[in-house]
Amino acid sequence: MNNAVQNAQPAAAEVVRTARHGAVVCVTLDSPPVNALSSAVRKGLWRAIEEAEADSSVQAIVLVGQGGNFIAGADIREFGKPPVPPTLPELCKRIEVCNKPVVAVLNGAVLGGGLEIAMAAHHRIALADARLGLPEVQLGLMPGAGGTVRTPYLIGAQAALDMMLSGRHVKAQEAFDLGLVDRLVEGDNAETVGLACVRELLDQGLVVRRARDAGGLANAAEAQAAIDAAKADVAKKSRGLFSPGKIVESVQAALELPFDEAIAFERQAFLACLDSPQRAGLIHAFFSERETAKVPEARAATPRKVSALGVIGGGTMGVGITVAALDAGLPVTMVERDAEAIARGQANVEKVYDALVSKGRMSEAGKSAVMARYTPSTRYEDVRDADLVIEAVFEDIETKKAVFKELDRVCKPGAVLGTNTSFLDIDAIAASISRPQDVIGLHFFSPANVMKLLEIVVPAKASAEVVATAFDLARKLRKTPVRAGVCDGFIGNRIMAVYKQAVDGIMEDGASPYEIDEALRGFGYPMGTFQVADLAGGDIGWATRKRRAATRDPRARYVHVADRLCERGWFGQKTGRGFYLYPQGARTGQPDPEVLAILDEERDKKGIIPRKFTPEEIVRRYMAAMINEGARVVEEGIALRPLDVDVTFLAGYGFPRYRGGPMKYADMVGLDTVLADLQEFSREDPLFWKPAALLERLVAEGKKFESLN
């Protein structure tokens, strides 16, 4: 992220323009890309309001945003920097107290501080594409410019809390139904329809009308009930998040305190959120997810057109990938080995849409329209015209090479050939055909139609155009892409293999798998490592361990517990038991005393006297292993930047989002602390815990991983 460009602040006059239309002043925000409320925009808006108010010939002020959005909120890049006046709360108050009617014309993004500006205005008219929201909670923050007060005043406590705790974007019609906007207008040019509308309102006697006078909290009992329900919900669901509780407290204050005191209360709560490390983690996640697509190849080349897809293999991943592509509007031809397999593949694709129909989230006609773009087949010739083909057959190099040989034979020149392999050598697959430059790794995560992450693995011979096409496909499928180099397991699975080794060591040395999972849930994970292993199926990991046995360093510690379970056929949820028991197909596992017995047996074999591990120590070891391997992945260039490692774990491995990802977490706890942990643990096992050179260098230079982003 090149800060020089981002830090160059345009002058207020450049980003806020005013124009006179008879008795109406139109104030236009023009600060690409999304009219964020930077200090320049705030200054420009303040001046425009002051000047219009002072001009006696002005009867009304219209606020519009240029570029398809009204305002997407405060300028997130300014958080953590010294505040520059006027602050957003001050600006909102200035607009509200203006003695000329201020009308906000809403289109596109009307989010966070943008909606707060609109609520400080006296009238709100919305175009059909307006998306209104208070998504601050997704950044570890809360509305800080009157949102926790004016919103409930306008639409009541329940609707306001729903918007602020979910962060969801509300469409124009719903905003109108809620009373958040006063009028819906046709048209797509905000200035034109806005001015026409204001002239009409002036003829009808447009007056100043302030949110602080609205009666949304008049029914105190109703409001209190909504607040109490939200409090209970936050206690149950916020899983360690800081700002949701602050939002509820502020709405409570809005109900109990006079308007201006409630605004002051909100300010203190907002500043507390600003100071929380969760804000830093979540904002890092926000920007990092927008950086991973900015790769050299995407800048250097134009993507090839992809309007028809082929998928080879209709198993777990083939089905998910097909659904993701169908959901994106693409036609898909799925090829399987035989009639029985393709029938199974087709049935599993249909099952996804049948579930949506049964939940009323899709009509039968909608399902038919989607399935009309799906073609089942057992003939490779049927993907000859596909622009891009994704192979998702068994994780066996010879099977995959045979498939690529077929694709090389039938596919048109220029078709992009992708493989969904989890671990295998994509350079070897590419080298096995006549067009290695067209081969790319497209590593989806299960379920592929749900998980956001798409690891785009770039083999040595891949052309920039093919890489750019893969990133363009990710955009079409609404996936979060991360560029990875070729190595065993790429970014995610490679690092996962290492922290799983660390966890296996902790287990064999004394902690139960259930204690370890509890510690990781306490750290913020939705599921612990052993729960995830049972969900994914122990057989996949077992196959990988067997494949690696031949090349495993004989000096490396190896824990056999997982193998012992797999030898018994205990693969997890799909076999009713794994590390946990899943009686009657339960989705939540119960601790299994037989697993603990196997664990004791393995310890006895190695003469290990089990010892106690605190949750804190379990997390220190888990994170030290993850960060250390993350550093190696960056130093080897497998990941372009530390933020690519962060986004991989945020979008593909359930890493707690408010911690920003493993490398951001390392920066926040201190690289010297992580290094000290590694040095301490390496006294037990110098081979496994050897600190990465990059980590040692950054500590020596007093730098953070951030310096490499």
* Residues at the interface with ligand T1G (CB under 6 A): 33-34, 36, 72-77, 88, 109, 111-113, 116, 135-136, 139, 141, 143-145, 147, 287, 290
Q: Which of 117, 175, 262, 317 binds ligand NAD (CB under 6 A)?
A: 317
When the beta carbons of 51 and 327 are compared against ligand NAD, the nearer one is 327
Residue with tokens 């916020």: 238
Query: Is there binding between residue 238 and ligand NAD (CB under 6 A)?
Result: no
36 binds, among ligand T1G, ligand NAD, none (CB under 5 to 8 A by kind): ligand T1G
What would you measure as the largest C-alpha separation in the chain, in angstroms?
A: 92
Distance between terminal CA atoms of the chain?
6
- Report, in Å, the least distance between residue 543 CB and ligand NAD: 9
Please identify which residue in the block is written with the tokens 């926790």: 148
Residue number with CB closer to ligand NAD (35 or 346):
346
CB of 14 vs ligand T1G, minimal distance in Å = 17
Binding partner of residue 143 among ligand NAD, ligand T1G, none, CB cut-off 5 to 8 Å per kind: ligand T1G
Residue closer to ligand T1G by CB (options 289, 438) is 289
Closer CB to ligand NAD, 421 or 512, in the complex: 421
Which lies closer to ligand NAD via its Cβ, residue 107 or residue 346?
346
How near is the Cβ of 119 to ligand T1G at its closest, in Å? 11
Rounded CA gap, 310 and 498, in Å?
34
Please identify, using beta-carbon distances, which residue of 7 and 204 lies nearer to ligand T1G: 7
Residue 206 interacting with ligand NAD (CB under 6 A): no
Is beta strand 580-581 parallel, antiparallel or unpaired with respect to 480-485?
unpaired
273 binds, among ligand NAD, ligand T1G, none (CB under 5 to 8 A by kind): none
Note whether 180 and 163 are within 8 A (CB): no
Positive or negative CA dihedral for 546, 550, 551, 552? Answer: positive
| Cis peptide bond upstream of 277, omega within 30 | no
| Positions 121 through 150 that interact with ligand NAD (CB under 6 A) | none
Q: Quickly tell me which residue has 């989705």 as its tokens.
A: 587
Calculate helix-pair angle for 259-275, 88-96, nearest 10 degrees: 160
Question: Helix, strand, coil: what percent of the chain each, to 5?
Answer: 55, 10, 35
Residue-by-residue DSSP string for 251-278? HHHHHHS-HHHHHHHHHHHHHHHHHSHH
Amino acid at 249: E
* CA gap 416, 306 in Å, rounded: 9
Select the residue interacting with ligand NAD from 61, 132, 388, 403 (CB under 6 A).
Answer: 403
Site membership for ligand NAD, residue 173 (CB under 6 A): no
Residue closer to ligand NAD (CB basis): 420 or 529:
420
Cα separation values, 379 from 311, 373, 405, Å: 12, 17, 14
Catalytic residue among 14, 53, 96, 136: 136
The option from ligand NAD, ligand T1G, none interacting with 422 (CB < 5 to 8 A, set by class) reads ligand NAD
Map residue 449 onto helix, strand or coil: coil
Q: Which amino acid is at 163?
A: M
Q: Which two structure tokens, joined as six digits, stand for 524?
A: 């913020």
Shortest separation between residue 333's beta carbon and ligand NAD, angstroms = 12
Comparing CA positions, the residue from 115, 126, 104, 123 lying closest to residue 186 is 126
User: Is 692:671 a contact under the CB 8 Å cutoff?
Assistant: no
Q: Say whether 136 is catalytic.
A: yes
Pick from ligand NAD, ligand T1G, none: which does 96 bind, CB < 5 to 8 A by kind? none
Contact status: 538 vs ligand NAD (CB under 6 A): no
Residue 48 touches which of ligand NAD, ligand T1G, none (Cβ within 5-8 Å per kind):
none
Among 102, 393, 559, 695, binds ligand NAD (CB under 6 A): 393
Among 250, 420, 628, 648, binds ligand NAD (CB under 6 A): 420
Residue 654 interacting with ligand NAD (CB under 6 A): no
CA distance 73 to 110: 7
Any contact of residue 532 with ligand NAD (CB under 6 A)?
A: no
With binding defined as CB under 6 A, does residue 316 bind ligand NAD?
yes
Consecutive H or E run containing 18 = strand 16-21
Burial class of residue 104, CB neighbours in 10 A (0-12, 13-18, 19+): buried
Does 314 interact with ligand NAD (rule: CB under 6 A)? yes
Q: Among 77, 183, 337, 367, which residue interacts with ligand NAD (rule: CB under 6 A)?
A: 337
d(CA 372, CA 363): 14
Catalytic residues: 116, 136
Q: Site residues (CB under 6 A) for ligand NAD?
A: 312-318, 335-337, 341, 392-395, 399, 402-403, 420-422, 444-446, 536
